């Protein structure tokens, strides 16, 4: 449970960071909405992503992993549809760019937290 909360907070911080990058088209109204979005994103990743990944395994194999990116984009877009203060200004393009940049920013933040000894790698 603690790991999930840490991941949700890091994702919320990442969402706030990427909302300041103008060409992405990702908008978050407040830190509270970012935290709620981080929680919903984490829940969708925990429950929906394994199902989509399992069902799409043959497609993922044929596309050399690009289907996995599409699953991340769909979860990112679905989170924006569910949370009212989290918007994708340019629709699917913002979802693609936002999911990619979210992965990068999350990786950087988790790497920093791990190097500082605040998070133990799994």
Kindly report, residue by residue over 29-53, the tens digit of the pLDDT.
999 999 999 999 999 999 998 998 8
In a domain, 42, yes or no: yes
In a domain, 95, yes or no: yes
Q: Say if CB 21 and CB 36 are below 8 A apart.
A: no
User: Which has more confidence, 3 or 85?
Assistant: 85
What's the CA gap between 12 and 46, in Å, rounded?
16
pTM across the whole model: 0.88
Question: Could you tell me the residue range of the domain that residue 20 belongs to?
Answer: 2-115
In a domain, 120, yes or no: no
In a domain, 40, yes or no: yes
Q: Say if CB 91 and CB 98 are below 8 A apart.
A: no
What's the CA gap between 75 and 68, in Å, rounded?
11
* Confidence band, pLDDT 50/70/90 cuts, at residue 5: confident
In a domain, 121, yes or no: no
* Confidence band, pLDDT 50/70/90 cuts, at residue 122: low
If one counts the domains in the chain, the total is 1
What's the CA gap between 120 and 29, in Å, rounded?
31
pLDDT at 78: 95
For helices 66-82 and 31-55, the axis angle rounded to 10 degrees is 140
In a domain, 13, yes or no: yes
């Amino acid at each position: 449970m603690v790991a999930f909360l840490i991941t949700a907070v890091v994702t919320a911080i990442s969402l706030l960071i990427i909302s300041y990058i103008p060409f992405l088209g990702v908008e978050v109204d407040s830190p509270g909405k970012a935290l709620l979005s981080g929680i919903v994103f984490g829940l969708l990743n925990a429950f929906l992503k394994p199902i989509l990944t399992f069902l799409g395994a043959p497609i993922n194999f044929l596309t050399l992993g690009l289907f996995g990116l599409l699953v991340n984009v769909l979860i990112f877009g679905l989170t924006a549809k569910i949370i009212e203060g989290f918007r994708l200004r340019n629709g699917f393009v913002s979802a693609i760019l936002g999911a990619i940049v979210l992965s990068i920013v999350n990786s950087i933040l988790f790497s920093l937290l791990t190097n500082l000894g605040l998070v133990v790698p799994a």
